[in-house]
Amino acid sequence: MFGKAVYDCRAQLGLTEAELAEHAGLTEDEVEAIETGGTEPPWN
């Protein structure tokens, strides 16, 4: 559910995974993993 929400918000804002990753301090691979439900975001 969280990953779908991240994807929906990113798409609504017109951001690519790379752009979101840069804004969030993550890698593009981490954003993809979060969106596909493969991992939870690092909350630290």
**pLDDT value of position 4:** 93
Q: What is the pLDDT of residues 1-44, one digit of tens each?
A: 889 999 999 999 999 999 999 999 999 999 999 999 877 666 66
Are 31 and 40 in contact, with CB atoms under 8 Å apart?
Answer: no
Q: Phi/psi class of residue 7: alpha, beta or left (left: φ > 0; alpha: ψ in -120 to 50)? A: alpha
Q: Cβ–Cβ contacts within 10 Å for residue 23, how many?
A: 12
pTM for this one? 0.81
Residue 37 has what pLDDT?
87
Q: Residue 10: which H helix or E strand, with range?
A: helix 2-13
Structure tokens at 25: 């301090």
